[in-house]
Structure 1
Amino acid sequence: MYIRPTMAERSLGRVLWRWRDNTGMSLTEACEKAGFSIALLSMAENALRPFDPLNTMILGRVYGIPNEVWKREVRRAEFAAEARTQARAKKSPLDLNATRDMDEAALDATAVCAFGADTIPRLFQTPEYRKAAGPAFPALEDDDPILLAELHSTWIKNFSTDASSSPTVSIVLTRRALHRVVANEAVTSAALVQLVHLSELEDFTVQVLDDEACLGARAESSYCHLTFPHTQHDDVVYLESAEHGQYIEDPATCQLIHCGFKALQQCALSPAQSVQEIAEAASTLQSRTPRRSPSRKPRPKTPRSTTRTEK
């Protein structure tokens, strides 16, 4: 069955793969224990065909997943199956935890176009910056901060160590986002320095939007446009605002947003000029960071002499 998977189905596929990867089982071993064909599980993990929610429960038991965890994924699988059957774009907390899923989806992407309206795009924030900035909307109760930190670390590490698996990245950052202090000067400076270091990589470009040059082309919300390698997986846009975060999966809308991103790039400073401005902003923040003077031990008081002069 040839399908165009939704982000909910692709998110479930990544969960199934992560479960198996954490146990160290091969596809063959997992399928022998679950009674599946290798093709069935492989296509489910890669979101190339719908997956029966009941099979999610079977895998949860095979991998030794806690009951409350695999039951939650079964509910998400049921929602995804229902949405596909009824062919409607319904959204629900059971659909996606977009804050977490965005990190996992980006690991699969071949190209990322990110626009930061008022902060550095979330994918490229340092952990400290990200913690201070907070998610675009309240995270679900089952959010795992350790997993989020690991995903972020993997995402940044991929750029620096494995060029073959790194996506092509283009960032446009407004001056408002560039000069906004998140948490404190030291945290913001570190995030900007990270951008400067990443810009030295071959397929990574960052540009600062010259607000005065294109007031009419400015977008009001941050977003990331992701392109995936498999022809069966459509592009998606993750849109982030102060009130909420959501996925846009309609191909025509995604294409329009991508064209708008190209227009922003045309209005922005060149990559060389942008990196220089980012480095200067980081340097300015570093100079404003208060430095603690070395602690001085209190000088011991000299006791007064109690010796009397003999007459």
Structure 2
Amino acid sequence: MELSTGSLPNNNEGDQEKRMTERISPTVRLRKLVRRLRTWRDRAGMRQDDVGTVLGWSTAKVSRYENAEQIPGPAEIIALATIYGVPDQERDQYMALAVQARQKGWWQRYGSETLASNFHEYVGLESEASHVREYTTDLIPGLLQTERYATALTQAWLPKVDSSVAAERASLRAQRQQGLHESEPLQLSTVIGEAALRQEVGGPEVMREQLQHLAAMAELPHVTIQVLPFSAGAVPALGVPFILLSFPDPEDPDVPFADYLTGCVYVEDEDEVTSYSLNYSALENDRALDPAASLTLISKLAEQL
């Protein structure tokens, strides 16, 4: 999760409007659609096999629609809305949503080597998020990484990738980070473990540049950077970094995200989502340094390199 130091805000009004349009994510639209399909069925008091029997579909087909494994077309939406007794206006709204869910997101232009399938959905969610809260233990958050820092990480990971893939990843990273520089920018809150500030990724010069970049980004009103110092001791979620995505539509629930060496996890269970929010709030409000003290520590560590 990654800022090219060369990705400065573009003041061209047309380019900015294009970027805002691209942030409308088919991933978010699909999640909204499947939640509504489940709600319709629950309101009608029907089970998936009941729906299959009435429409002549297999239960597996109904399940695929409700689990975002397959996007229903207009005919399927009409059929479902009819048996559920959904008003025409509401039906038409979700038919339009289904069309939007079939569109390509800007990130889908990248190949599978650049954007692994298990990270594909995350970029789609982040693209339309209004607030990203990220807790990291030993890495600078991706949206705040400089190009040289991110390149050093890419070069260290195994298996190695060739230069063309590395260049595409840099392009993807820069476009993601552009959300921090729009007229209605993404709000970013981070709690960064002190270890991430001291790990000399790429060597002292690269790390000094990275820390200076963090200090500069902390000046933005919509970016909050807090450091979790070693002196904090045992803290909530210690050793379990995660991201919590929130969206402008209050009907879209928060989505916690956590990754591991070969994959990632998206959390949707309501109680689990509450737990992630509770843990982040504890780190942010009770255990991490406040933004001013964090900036002082970041600047001090940069001077020492």
Runs of 4+, deviation exceeding 4 Å: 38-42, 135-141, 143-147
1:177 deviates by 1.1
CA contact (8 A) 2:33 2:97 kept: no
CA contact (8 A) 1:109 1:228 kept: yes
TM-score of the pair, normalised by structure 2: 0.58
Matched, 1:260 2:291: no
CA contact (8 A) 1:3 1:232 kept: no
CA contact (8 A) 2:235 2:283 kept: no
CA contact (8 A) 2:130 2:187 kept: yes
**Alignment length (residue pairs):** 216
Matched, 1:128 2:159: no
Q: Which has the higher contact order (CA 8 A, sep 6+)?
A: 2
AA paired with 2:142?
R
1:169 deviates by 1.3
Matched, 1:277 2:297: yes
Partner of residue 150, structure 1:
171
1:147 deviates by 4.8
1:155 deviates by 3.0
For residues 193 and 117 of structure 2, the distance between their equivalents in structure 1, rounded to whole angstroms, comes to: 27
Q: Output aligned runs, 1:35-74, within 5 Å.
A: 42-44=96-98, 46-47=100-101
AA paired with 1:4?
R
For residues 137 and 99 of structure 1, the distance between their equivalents in structure 2, rounded to whole angstroms, comes to: 17
Partner of residue 86, structure 1:
none
Paired residue for 1:248, among 267, 271, 275? 267
Query: Who wins on radius of gyration, i.e. which is larger?
Result: 1
For residues 99 and 282 of structure 1, the distance between their equivalents in structure 2, rounded to whole angstroms, comes to: 31
CA contact (8 A) 2:180 2:187 kept: no
For residues 43 and 139 of structure 1, the distance between their equivalents in structure 2, rounded to whole angstroms, comes to: 40
Matched, 1:114 2:134: yes
Partner of residue 176, structure 1:
195
Deviations 1:78-104 (A, max 9, x none): xxxxxxxxxxxxxxxxxx723354334
AA paired with 1:172?
V
CA contact (8 A) 2:237 2:279 kept: no
Partner of residue 301, structure 1:
none
**Alpha-carbon distance change, 195 to 153 in structure 1, aligned in 2, over 3 angstroms:** same
For residues 9 and 117 of structure 1, the distance between their equivalents in structure 2, rounded to whole angstroms, comes to: 32
CA contact (8 A) 1:128 1:187 kept: yes
For residues 225 and 158 of structure 2, the distance between their equivalents in structure 1, rounded to whole angstroms, comes to: 26
AA paired with 2:297?
E
CA contact (8 A) 1:172 1:268 kept: yes
1:194 deviates by 1.9
Q: Output aligned runs, 1:80-95, within 5 Å.
A: none
AA paired with 2:254?
D
For residues 211 and 172 of structure 1, the distance between their equivalents in structure 2, rounded to whole angstroms, comes to: 13
Paired residue for 2:218, among 177, 199, 202? 199
Name the structure with the higher helix share: 2
- The RMSD of aligned alpha carbons is 4.0
**Alpha-carbon distance change, 219 to 237 in structure 1, aligned in 2, over 3 angstroms:** same
Deviations 1:187-233 (A, max 9, x none): 22222222211111112111111232341435213221101223443
For residues 284 and 219 of structure 1, the distance between their equivalents in structure 2, rounded to whole angstroms, comes to: 27
AA paired with 1:234?
P
**Alpha-carbon distance change, 218 to 43 in structure 1, aligned in 2, over 3 angstroms:** closer
For residues 189 and 167 of structure 1, the distance between their equivalents in structure 2, rounded to whole angstroms, comes to: 25
Matched, 1:236 2:255: yes
AA paired with 1:284?
Q
AA paired with 1:196?
A
Stretches of structure 1 lacking an aligned partner (at least 5 in a row): 13-37, 60-64, 73-95, 286-311
Larger deviation, residues 147-156 vs 114-123: 147-156
CA contact (8 A) 1:238 1:247 kept: yes
CA contact (8 A) 1:113 1:226 kept: yes
AA paired with 2:273?
C
